[in-house]
Amino acid sequence: MERIFGRPIVTQEEMRARIKELGKQITADYAGKDFVLVGVLKGAYAFYADLARAIRIPMRVDFLVVTSYGSRAKTSGKVKIVTELTEDIKGKEVLLVEDIVDSGLTAQYLIKTLAKKKPQSIKVCTLLSKPERRTVDVALEYVGFKIPNRYVVGYGLDYQQKYRNLPYLAVLDMEGEQE
Ligand code: 5GP
Ligand code: MG
Ligand code: MG
C-alpha cells in the first residue's frame, strides 16, 4: 500500500468519541423538531456520514456542493454553490455540517444564502475550527475540535483533491502554501 504522509493530529478513536458526544447533543437539541441535516460537500462527507448515524431522531438529509474559486490552500471566501439542496427548507430547522471553519467566510456566505429560503432556524456544526484564522464573526453552535493554524488533510479534507479518504486527520507539511 502506498504510504500516506502527514502527522496525525486527531486519531480515529478521538474522532469517534467526539462525534458520539456531538450526536447526543444534537439529538437532545432537535428532538421533536422538523430537522434537516445539510452536508457541505465535498469536505464534510466523512464527518456527515458518521455524525448522521450518531443522531437518534427522525431527520431529513440533504447536501450542497460548493467550490471555492482557486485551488490554493487559502480560501478567497468566494464560494459557489454548484449543486443545490433538493429539499424545501422553508420553516424547517436546518443544521449545516461543515468540515472546517477557517476565515469563516464560507459559513457566513452559506448562512446568508440559505436564510433567503426562510428556514425556521439555521445553525452550524463543524468538525474543525481554526479560531486564530477567523476574519468574520460567525456563530458556531457545535464544534468538534479547535485546531491550531496548520493545514490539515484526511477525514474528508483534501489537498488538491487528494487525501480525503485518510481515516484520521493529519497535518500536511507544506510550508509556504498558507500565504
Ligand atoms: P473559510 O471560508 O472558513 O476560510 O474556509 C473554509 C474552507 O477552506 C474549508 O471548507 C476548506 O475547504 C478550506 N480549508 C481551510 N482550512 C483548511 C485546512 O486546514 N485543510 C483543508 N484541507 N482545507 C482547509
Ligand atoms: Mg467546507
Ligand atoms: Mg479544499
12-30 helix and 45-54 helix, angle to the nearest 10 degrees: 60
Residue 15 within a domain: yes
Name the DSSP letter for residue 42: T
Residue 176 within a domain: no
Question: What is the rounded average pLDDT of the residues 97-101?
Answer: 98
d(CA 127, CA 56): 19
Q: Please write the tens of the pLDDT for every residue from 26-83.
A: 999 999 999 999 999 999 999 999 999 999 999 999 999 998 765 555 556 678 999 9
Give 69's strand partners.
Answer: none
Burial of 111 (0-12, 13-18, 19+ CB in 10 A): middle
Type of residue at 91: G
Residue 72 within a domain: yes
pLDDT for 176 equals 46
Residue with CA at minimum distance from ligand 1 atom 9: 100
CATH of the domain at 32: 3.40.50.2020
What's the mean pLDDT when you consider all of the chain? Answer: 91
Is 102 in the active site? Answer: yes
Band (155; pLDDT cuts 50, 70, 90): very high
Residue 177 within a domain: no
Q: Please write the tens of the pLDDT for every residue from 129-144.
A: 999 999 999 999 999 9
Say how many Å lie between the CA of residue 45 and the centre of ligand 2. Answer: 10
**Total domains present in the chain:** 1
Q: What residue numbers bound the domain in which 13 lies?
A: 7-171
Cβ < 6 A, ligand 1 pocket: 43, 75, 77, 99-107, 151-153, 157-159
Report the nearest atom of ligand 1 relative to the CA of 106. 2
**Complex ipTM tops 0.95:** yes
Predicted TM-score of the model (pTM): 0.92
Say how many Å lie between the CA of residue 102 and the centre of ligand 1. Answer: 6
Report long-range pairs for 111-117 (Cβ below 8 Å, ≥24 apart): 111/138, 113/81, 114/38, 114/85, 114/89, 117/85, 117/88, 117/89, 117/90
Band (178; pLDDT cuts 50, 70, 90): very low
